Amino acid sequence: QRRIRMLSVSTADGHYTSVRKIPGHPLVLHFDEIPPSANHAFTVNKYIHRIVPTTEAKKYMAKVQESATLQADGWVWHGSWLVLYFQLYLPDNRRHDLSNCKKLLEDGIKKGIGVDDKWYLWRDLVPIVDRTQSGGCDVFLYQDESQGVLEIA
């Protein structure tokens, strides 16, 4: 029988949210800005004829990589699917394509924990609109589907 524990997570608006989770060692990544859209994160380098990340995208991926590396200290991948819950905090009601927001997060996490993103199963939570903040996002990463039960209280 699994015991449910409570985990206190800081959200983009500076408050702490109680998160119920099944035991396991999740990685919790928090960012104070909305990820750049994949539509604007890449450009074509006409000299080498390849698509490359922009300077802004490189900076964001480096920030994600650093955070994932710090959070993954002592974390071991067991070769199972990785379930990533994605919570986006928006400053207004403008529409955002969640899949485009996740591309740079995906690449940064991949570099930070060393697990290919083909093993990622994304679960999108309903975006939260808070006009008093500039936006941000949280990513909760679990080892596999059986541990990936997350309910925000």
* 40: three-class secondary structure by DSSP: helix
Mean pLDDT of 37-57: 91
- Average model confidence (pLDDT) across the chain: 79
- Beta strands 42-45 and 50-53, pairing class: antiparallel
Evaluate if residue 150 carries a pLDDT over 50.
no
The answer to whether residues 138 and 20 touch, using CB atoms and an 8 Å cutoff, is no
**Minimum mean pLDDT range among 2-6, 17-21, 80-84:** 2-6
Q: How far apart are CA 119 and CA 27, in angstroms?
A: 15
Q: Which of 19-28, 33-42, 122-131 has the lowest mean pLDDT?
A: 19-28
